[in-house]
Chain A
Amino acid sequence: MKKVYILFILSLILCQINANTYKSVPGYLNQRNTISLGIRPNITISDGESIIPNLFQPSFELTYDRVLSRRSTVSLTIGRQSFTVLSTNSINNFRSKRNSLNIYYDNELVELNISDGTLNFANNYFNISKTYFMTTRGAIAPYGKYFKMGFTNNYFRIKKDNLKYFANTNSKFVFVSNPDNDFITQMLGAFNFELGVKKFYGKHFFINKAIAFNFPFNFWTSTRFVNYNNMSSYHEAYLRRYIANIHTLNINFAVGYAF
């Protein structure tokens, strides 16, 4: 998504914040702002490999909520996740979905396989959402049960490619390293939906628990039957799929402060 659209959405939100926070909004005991620090475990189950090393790839996020009315707030979230993909099998499985990676080696187009190593990357994401509190369940923004809808932009970038590749050429196994170390930031947009509850303990502190659903915009994009001609494109496509998988169903746990 182009940056100009993001600015447009932000300005709309700011206008709404200004327009709607009139005096009849009580918030929680006159507190109409909250800030919270949350964690998402991002449970990952890789197919084939030992699941334990990849089971949790937590992301940490900071959320600011502004009460708009008795039943709604607007949320702005920034988060970060650092991934290390240990299992090569998941990458190989991506390959095995009839995607091929071919590079020129010794002036010859060879197909690469991955034998060992790690792939490190980081994902910074930004989310804008509107939260609706279930007033029939006794909620008053920002307290109580809610559902949240919004848009997330994931900006992921490969930090380091420590994978070991081998090419099957002329019946010889060769290892090549990834010559392409100049990685660019990729963007993956997603629509998010969250069901949760915010419960206050005392006047200011609260705990937020939620189940989140993410529907990436490339969900429908097929990641099969693609021929990649460089490792970066190959990994970026893989990561796009990987992030889409781990974010699809998630849980969120946060502690926060209202003011």
Chain B
Amino acid sequence: MKTYQISCLLFSFFLVLFSFKSNSQTIQYSPLRCAGEIPDDFLLLNYEKINSEFSQIEGSNTSKNEKNIEKEFANKSTFRIDDILFSGKTLYGDVLTNYVNQIADIVLETDPTLRKKLRFYVLKSSDVNAFSTYQGIIFVTVGLLSQMENEAQLAFILSHEIAHYKLNHTLNSYKLNEQIKNAKGKFAELSLEDRIKQTFGYSKENELEADKEGYKIYSKTKYSKQAVIGSFDMLLYSYLAYDEIDWHPSTLQDTFYQFPIKYKKNNESIIKADEEEDDEESTHPNIRKRKENIEVIINKSFTDIKWNEDTTIHLTSENNFYFIQKQARTELFNILINKADYYKLFYYSYLYSKIYSEDSIFCNHLSSFSIYGLTIKKLPENDDDKQTNSNNAFKSDEESDVEKFEGTFNNVYTFLKKLGYIELSILSTRLAWKNYTINPSDEIAKKLLHNSLYVLFRHSNLSADFFVKNQINDSTFKIHSNIVSKEKLTKSQKLKLKQEQQKEEIQISEYESSKNSKLKYTTGAFKLIFEDKYFEHLYDSLSFIGIEDRNSTNENESYNKYAKPQKKIMKYGHNAGIDSIIMLNPNYSTYKIRSEQVFVNKLMDERNEINLAQVYAEMAKENNINLTEINILDRKNLTTEKLNEYSIITDWLSERVNNSNNTYSIIYNKHQISSVIQNRKCKNLMISGLSFVSEEREVNPEVVLTSILIIPLLPAVIFHYFTHNKEVYMNTIIIDLENGELKYLNRKNLKFKPNKNILRAHVFALFHDLKSKKNNLNK
């Protein structure tokens, strides 16, 4: 008996423990990164890939002209693909890419030769797209994976892209487009408009052909043939969010915080997706044509098939598919954060919370973050803007944005657009508080709350007592808000009520005169929250600081604890005392401008970049600067870890750039960049590069004439016009990865031709400038 009791006790203990564990949720989601062995596509330099392409082209039995066009195409497309591979957005070895490869294995089970030629990667993009390349790489976007309804749809789309590769559409399209562009062959006599129409026409033919061929590939699998039609339906609505769930502003309200009626007006717009839309100026045929194209084949080859047996839409585990779908939808959040697309982020967090209710805490965090982001975006740039355009606080673009989007999202978008930055900061504070109470230990949750409150008072004319606290007798307030006969009140109750009314009237008249009457509905925004003593204390302190800073005449004063608007730009010649740097591979671009055309030699640029990176490394060593490189051109030493660091930095930079107001911006994935700082033991990121422009000089007839008349000048003038105008633009910035502060900026526009030694001198001088210390850094 005793043993039984003990075992029950233990069982209950573990049950409780497990239930606690299952309820705890990760607030932040770490973006997907590459994993495993690095594929060959990432290890070869472009000139190696191009050489291999060229040798294949040389071995083919085509005419010389055709070979030249193919080489030109191979050259251009290789660099373009390299840009995508090394954009920091291409994934391999992660769950999504592994899944796509798994489906590709199923699709090409009967054609292993073709399977070996093809490589599949996932691209971190919110666009719903998949595309194949001449080189056999097929990209599938996260946006597409988030929209997929079943495995069979993905299989068909992959088959479609494989068909493009098999039929060599990319190269053929290029050849045709060149002919059309240069009005050669059968296009010689067509006008420009007709030629453009031809381009669209041929593109649509390719799509239909790829559908047919793709279907042939697809039909060899065991997937439902009918599911193909579902793929087109999915594509038809793919421009909308991955789900359509109603949303209303009342989800953000409470008893004392109610939006005005005009805010709650339903702005859901008509969904215009049409299977038979006019596709004359589109590269893709409309969905009706595509469906008909496939239905013909299906009917032809499946006259005997009974449709009720053709239901297989998952050949791998169905749970696995939904897991992948969820992963893709989760990944979308990071993509939207990087793009600073807060409207979509807010809506998608709402959708996600409805679909995956177990992750509601995570979604709360994101919706709070998105509203804060919107608040910061709408902040005026300086106090003068705030003073002169006091209506900016309430600025909305109502007239231009009605029905900008379709469906429920338009409702969300229009509502958020109507809110000015003060209203948004109030809403942000409310959501941040809700988020904070769930996760008080989360740094970002804390920062969101503090920043929201501070921004509210720093950038508005509101006083600390604008917001009604829970100081009055609740019953009195209830009596006031509910219509009750005054005859039933005692004298003291009547007087209290009268005092309350008088206070309200004062507040109304005060703020109506300052055009803040629009904010009247927000006075009770924190009423319920004030019940928490911590919030009340926080409110009092931050409102005080915010108002103090607002009233301060010194623009440089700020609440150092929460945001540091430091903009110390280091000019040339000022010494930063920096002795360790993380350097992204320096950029080197050469442009030759001849007869108003720009010529770029990317192969030469690639070699120059490799050399420049070596120069940087050497010169840093000469100056005893510890330089750690994240050089994606150093393919021999490239690792998955390095690529991931590169991807983390590009994401961080996107977030920084897209959140132009750096003072209050909060970086979502700060822990990711912190890991880079820890690994590299350095927090200074250097981005550097140079562009060399060589331009023909314009001949000035007057100068030439003068030089003929004054003979001694003639040789100089001839020399001047025969030599090209050479300019070099060298830019270097150093950013502190911890706080985003710009630590060094050096921009030069010089007239010389960059040879190796002079570049060494300049790079040496740059590092020398960085390393040397001077006492006064504030100039």
Q: Give chain A's interface residues, CB within 8 Å of chain B.
A: 23-24, 26, 28-30, 70, 135-140, 143-144, 199-202
Assess the B762–A138 pair: CB atoms within 8 A.
Answer: yes
Contacts of A143 in B (CB 8 A): 757-758, 761
Asked whether A138 and B728 contact (CB < 8 A) given A24-B774, A29-B622, the answer is: yes
Assess the A138–B752 pair: CB atoms within 8 A.
Answer: yes
Contacts of A28 in B (CB 8 A): 761, 764
Contact of B575 among A24, A137, A138, A144 (CB under 8 A): A24
Min CB–CB distance B623 → chain A (angstroms) = 8
Contact of A23 among B622, B757, B765, B772 (CB under 8 A): B772
Contact of A144 among B622, B758, B769 (CB under 8 A): B758
Q: Can you give 8 A-B contacts (C-beta < 8 A)? A: A23-B575, A26-B764, A29-B760, A29-B761, A70-B765, A135-B750, A137-B750, A200-B761
Assess the A24–B772 pair: CB atoms within 8 A.
Answer: yes
Asked whether A29 and B772 contact (CB < 8 A) given A138-B728, A138-B752, A201-B757, the answer is: no
Contact of B757 among A24, A70, A199 (CB under 8 A): A199
Min CB–CB distance B695 → chain A (angstroms) = 16
8 A Cβ contacts from B749-769 to A: 750-752, 754, 757-758, 760-762, 764-765, 768-769
Assess the B750–A30 pair: CB atoms within 8 A.
Answer: no
State the CA gap A24–B773 with chains docked (Å).
8
Interface flag for B573 (CB, 8 Å): yes
Assess the B761–A140 pair: CB atoms within 8 A.
Answer: yes
Contacts of A199 in B (CB 8 A): 757
Assess the A138–B750 pair: CB atoms within 8 A.
Answer: yes
Contacts of B758 in A (CB 8 A): 138, 143-144
A-B contacts besides A24-B774, A26-B769, A199-B757, 14 pairs, CB < 8 Å = A23-B575, A24-B573, A30-B623, A135-B750, A136-B751, A137-B750, A138-B728, A139-B752, A140-B761, A143-B757, A143-B761, A144-B761, A200-B761, A202-B757
**By CB atoms of chain B within 10 A, which of A29, A30, A143 has the most?**
A29
Assess the A24–B769 pair: CB atoms within 8 A.
Answer: yes
Asked whether A144 and B752 contact (CB < 8 A) given A26-B769, A199-B757, the answer is: yes
Beta-carbon nearest neighbor of B773 in chain A:
A23
Min CB–CB distance B574 → chain A (angstroms) = 9
Contacts of B760 in A (CB 8 A): 29
State the CA gap A136–B726 with chains docked (Å).
12
Min CB–CB distance A202 → chain B (angstroms) = 8
Beta-carbon nearest neighbor of A138 in chain B:
B752
Assess the B768–A138 pair: CB atoms within 8 A.
Answer: no
Beta-carbon nearest neighbor of B752 in chain A:
A138
Contact of A30 among B752, B762, B764 (CB under 8 A): B764
Assess the A30–B573 pair: CB atoms within 8 A.
Answer: no
State the CA gap A143–B762 with chains docked (Å).
10
Contacts of A30 in B (CB 8 A): 622-623, 764, 768
Assess the A29–B769 pair: CB atoms within 8 A.
Answer: no
8 A Cβ contacts from B670-724 to A: none
The list of the 7 closest CB pairs from A to B, nearest first, reads: A138-B752, A26-B768, A26-B765, A138-B750, A200-B757, A23-B772, A24-B772
State the CA gap A171–B765 with chains docked (Å).
77
State the CA gap A138–B752 with chains docked (Å).
6
